[in-house]
Amino acid sequence: MSSLVLTEPIPEALIRDFACDPHAPLEKVFEKAIDPSWPLYPDLWRFLDSLPVEAVEATLEDPTFIGMYGDSERLARLWTADRLLTDEVARRRLEQLALNSDPRAAMPYDAAALRGVAVDDEYMVPLAAFDPSSLERNGFRFTVCTTTAAPNSTFWLTRSFFQQELVPYMSVRLDPFLWGSCDIFRALMYKMIVYPKPLDWDGIGRLRERHCLEAHDPRDWEQVTELYWEPRDDGIHFVCEELPKRSRVAFAAARYLHAIYDPGSEKITHFDGALRIYNDEEIAGRQADHLWTAGKTGIRRKIFRIDEPIGRESFTLVAQAFFVWNDDLKGYFGDTLFPKA
């Protein structure tokens, strides 16, 4: 959808409404398109009717759409609208994250409900300042900044912080759009079972040189995950980055993780996850290099930071949750990395 030229812009009211709704956009488009009582029902249908014919035809040729919905022109318009709304909200989120304004004036940190919460220079707030069951404070509910276009992409990450009892050591970045009064911002529950599989920590601790891995998404060779372990003076560094497709760089950031393992204490002494926002030129240069030679290309915005040493099992669980839906890393953390001596 990134190259599509619309005959009419997406109505601003629709963008704002979808940006602040924790429900998946696809569910909402299908639901609201048959609800004349919804205040934005006329806006939605004006937008649906204005979609270019070529966009609808392209959707009708999409194998995923055909498998789910067949050849319905009406459903193709709903599907297309979902993709366009999702992309526009994701683009605006990255735009907000890329700003260098005063952290206290950035969304949502200027909300009255967050008065008294310390915001650091990386736009992070202590997780302990919120109700642990639902990220509530003063009658408002917040969300850890989403790492993909899906509004639930940090749900499992947030749960992993609580499950591993990391809250006292955690700082997180809040999503600029996904928050609101508890009476209208509904808490959602998703089910996914994730097990922290043990890596071969003995093998990692014995590393004397850098160990790099690269995996391409079999569905799209341009989408790649790279990682390396590297021994340095302060411990064994783990760095991992999931690069988006070049055609999606306006809507998708790279998910980036950094940790330091101390073999002596068997603890992770540093751990943070971030988004790296690239433009067209930067993503082309980044894809030409491996992660360990890429330098500080793009804009880096941290999503979480752990400020105290944590156990290795906690690291594995949080890392998997941060890269939710990345099958390469799901398999990686389940496999033995190094043969035992």
What are 61-91's pLDDT values in tens digits? Answer: 999 899 999 999 999 999 999 999 999 999 9
Q: What is the mean pLDDT of the chain?
A: 88
Give the strand pairing for 136-137 and 180-181.
unpaired
Q: Which of 47-61, 190-204, 214-228 is predicted least confidently?
A: 190-204
> What pLDDT, on a 0 to 100 scale, did the predictor assign at position 6?
78
Average pLDDT over residues 186-208: 71
In a domain, 111, yes or no: no
Give the strand order in the sheet containing 140-141: 136-137, 140-141, 180-181
Average pLDDT over residues 51-68: 91
- Residues 87 and 144 reside in one and the same domain: no
- Residues 84 and 228 reside in one and the same domain: no
In a domain, 114, yes or no: no
> What pLDDT, on a 0 to 100 scale, did the predictor assign at position 336?
42
In a domain, 6, yes or no: no
**pLDDT > 90: what percent of the chain?**
63
In a domain, 191, yes or no: yes
Whether residue 34 is predicted with pLDDT greater than 80 in this model: the reply is: yes
Give the span between the Cα atoms of 218 and 101, in whole angstroms: 39
Question: In terms of residue numbers, what domain contains 253?
Answer: 120-341
68, 98, 128: which is the final residue of a domain? Answer: 98
Q: Which of 48-52, 129-133, 234-238 is predicted least confidently?
A: 129-133
> What pLDDT, on a 0 to 100 scale, did the predictor assign at position 4?
64
Query: What DSSP assignment string belongs to 168-211?
Result: GGEEEPBPSSS-EETTTS-----------PPP-HHHHHT--S-E
In a domain, 107, yes or no: no
Query: What DSSP assignment string belongs to 110-161?
Result: TSGGGTT----TTS-EEGGGSBTTTTEETTEE--BPPSSSSTTTTHHHHHHH
Average pLDDT over residues 281-294: 87
In a domain, 7, yes or no: no
- Residues 173 and 298 reside in one and the same domain: yes
- Residues 39 and 181 reside in one and the same domain: no
For residue 330, what pLDDT band results from cuts at 50, 70 and 90?
confident
- Residues 133 and 198 reside in one and the same domain: yes
In a domain, 282, yes or no: yes
> What pLDDT, on a 0 to 100 scale, did the predictor assign at position 190?
59
Whether residue 153 is predicted with pLDDT greater than 70 in this model: the reply is: yes
> What pLDDT, on a 0 to 100 scale, did the predictor assign at position 337?
41
Residues 203-252: tens digit of each pLDDT: 899 999 998 888 876 566 567 899 999 999 999 999 999 999 888 999 99
For residue 191, what pLDDT band results from cuts at 50, 70 and 90?
low
For residue 133, what pLDDT band results from cuts at 50, 70 and 90?
confident
- Residues 83 and 224 reside in one and the same domain: no
> What pLDDT, on a 0 to 100 scale, did the predictor assign at position 100?
82
The top-scoring range by mean pLDDT among 101-105, 134-138, 273-277 is 273-277
- Structurally, how many domains does the chain consist of? 2
In a domain, 106, yes or no: no
Give the span between the Cα atoms of 89 and 16, in whole angstroms: 8
Whether residue 341 is predicted with pLDDT greater than 60 in this model: the reply is: no
DSSP-based three-state secondary structure for 97: helix
- Residues 80 and 139 reside in one and the same domain: no
Q: Which residue has the higher pLDDT, 6 or 315?
A: 315
Backbone angles phi, psi at 221, to 5 degrees: -60, -20
Instruction: Please state the pTM of the whole predicted model.
Output: 0.89
Give the span between the Cα atoms of 148 and 136, in whole angstroms: 22
> What pLDDT, on a 0 to 100 scale, did the predictor assign at position 3?
59
> What pLDDT, on a 0 to 100 scale, did the predictor assign at position 334?
63
Average pLDDT over residues 105-132: 91
- Residues 63 and 135 reside in one and the same domain: no
Q: Do the beta carbons of residue 163 and residue 328 sit within 8 Å?
A: no
Q: Which residue has the higher pLDDT, 17 or 194?
A: 17
User: Which residues have a Cβ under 8 Å from the Cβ of 282 and sit 6 or more positions away?
Assistant: 297, 298
